Amino acid sequence: MTARRPAALAILLLAAGRASAQAPEPVAVTVTDKGCEPAALTVPAGKSVFRISNKSRRVLEWEILQGTMIVEERENIIPGFVQSLSATLQPGSYEMTCGLLSNPKGTLTVTAAAATTAGTPDPMALVGPLAAYKLYVMGEVEAFHRQTAAFVAAIKAGTIAEAKALYPVARRHYERIEPVASLFNDLDKSMDVRADDFEKKEADPGFTGFHRLEKGLWADNSTNGLAPHADRLLADATELKRRIADLTIPPAKMAGGAAGLIEEVAATKISGEEDRYSRTDLWDFHANVEGSRKIFDLLRPLVAARDPDFVARTEKNFSRVDALLAKYRTEDGGFKPYDHLSDRDRNALKGPITVLAEDLSTLRGKLGLD
């Protein structure tokens, strides 16, 4: 399958629209329990650096949205901490998420600025990797839809043991392509939201998707009342498949996704907060590493020409993480429950995963995509 013309055109437009390389002044945003301060921002097109201060009582993620699409995001901002987010934005109107899902969104206006192509990579060099990644994503979303349908059928049939077995099998396909799947803010919040994102936590009617079903199966050990949540999950999986078929994957999102997948493991998943009811966390870890490795493999020839030492070091780090995860494999091809790991085991995982995340965080910059 050859690369489609829209993908190549999008890359050329991205390169043509870059702003001056002069370092921008950071834009301060404070998130409280009620929303963003200020609630409206205006920045020039090109690269902006946002400094997000979490003055709320919960860990949060701050996102820049255009419609339902997530343009950029910074996850896992701890209360009392400040984190930075670099974003290269085109002129237009955007929204900002501001803590709890029930909080009003902020507005972000990006005004036109003089453009330059200085320092950008050859756009056409990215067409091949992007086309190959799109094929990979399409295959994974097809498998995700198929396995989710089987998972939903088991729930509606009331076969708890079968549903429990299918839960991590379906999720791994989503986790491999999360950088793309999570671009759709509405679907990501519906399918993969956690109770912590709501004021009423598990009791909130907005708590739905995989983790609501996970709670029912493991914490309640019942499928009672889960059918509507299961139907919605399958409908969302169907819609995700449709949207991805029409999606031109942004180059920066592909390259940044390699780090994003590993950073999420290092920042929060290593603590066991993701699959807190089922303890199937290691399935997610492994899928995140697989998805990240796929992106790195596709971009490796471009990066090797610029920084062969980085490529060799990253290969070694991937191998270390793979070897550690392999220790917890089960005979049926799955993974041990995460609560079977000791604190020492978890710390042994955290070090190499953190190092890998730090190295991959430079990948976008090495390709001139920051």
Average pLDDT over residues 4-28: 51
- Pick 289 or 200 by higher pLDDT: 289
The amino acid that residue 222 corresponds to is S
| CATH number, position 49 | 2.60.40.420
> DSSP 3-state assignment of 36?
strand
Give the pLDDT of residue 121. 55
| Residue 278 in domain | yes
| Residue 284 in domain | yes
Residue 220 · residue 113 · CB < 8 Å: no
| Residue 145 in domain | yes
Sequence length of the chain is 370
User: Quick one: how far is CA 360 from the chain centroid?
Assistant: 14
Two tokens, residue 331: 């005979």
Two tokens, residue 264: 């999420």
Q: Tell me 3's DSSP state.
A: P
> DSSP 3-state assignment of 328?
coil
Q: Which of 54, 85, 112 is the last residue of a domain?
A: 112
Q: Are residues 83 and 174 in the same domain?
A: no
Q: Are residues 221 and 323 in the same domain?
A: yes
Q: Are residues 104 and 251 in the same domain?
A: no
Q: Are residues 106 and 51 in the same domain?
A: yes
Q: What is the pLDDT of residues 211-222, one digit of tens each?
A: 999 999 999 999
Question: Residue 297's pLDDT band (boundaries 50, 70, 90)?
Answer: very high
Is a pLDDT exceeding 50 seen at residue 16? no
Q: Are residues 102 and 242 in the same domain?
A: no
> DSSP 3-state assignment of 153?
helix
- Extended strands (E) in the chain: 27-31, 36-37, 40-44, 46-54, 60-66, 69-77, 82-89, 92-96, 106-111
Question: Residue 46's pLDDT band (boundaries 50, 70, 90)?
Answer: confident
Q: What's the sign of the alpha-carbon dihedral 336, 355, 265, 173?
A: negative
Q: What's the sign of the alpha-carbon dihedral 78, 26, 100, 346?
A: negative
| Chain position carrying tokens 């079968």 | 162
| Residue 23 in domain | no
Q: Are residues 170 and 289 in the same domain?
A: yes
| Residue 21 in domain | no
Domain count for the chain: 2
Closest by CA position to 318, among listed 340, 295, 289 = 289
What pairing do the DSSP bridges indicate for beta strands 36-37 and 69-77? unpaired
Q: Tell me 349's DSSP state.
A: H
Q: What is the pLDDT of residues 230-272, one digit of tens each?
A: 999 999 999 999 999 999 998 989 999 999 999 988 888 888 8
| CATH number, position 152 | 1.20.1420.20
Give the pLDDT of residue 150. 98
Q: Are residues 99 and 150 in the same domain?
A: no
| Residue 24 in domain | no
Is a pLDDT exceeding 80 seen at residue 353? yes
Q: Are residues 349 and 261 in the same domain?
A: yes
| Residue 3 in domain | no
Q: Are residues 97 and 141 in the same domain?
A: no
> What residue numbers bound the domain in which 74 lies?
29-112
- Pick 37 or 17 by higher pLDDT: 37
Q: What is the pLDDT of residues 111-157, one digit of tens each?
A: 986 544 444 456 678 899 999 999 999 999 999 999 999 999 999 99
Give the pLDDT of residue 255. 93
DSSP string, 48-117: EEEEEEE-SSS-EEEEEEETTEEEEEEEEE-TT-EEEEEEEE-SEEEEE--SSTTSPPEEEEEE------
| Residue 120 in domain | no
Q: CA neighbours within 13 Å on the CB side: how many for 71? A: 22
Q: Are residues 67 and 194 in the same domain?
A: no
Q: Are residues 34 and 149 in the same domain?
A: no
Q: Are residues 203 and 348 in the same domain?
A: yes
Q: Which of 63, 87, 112 is the last residue of a domain?
A: 112
Q: Which of 89, 112, 135 is the last residue of a domain?
A: 112
Is a pLDDT exceeding 80 seen at residue 63? yes
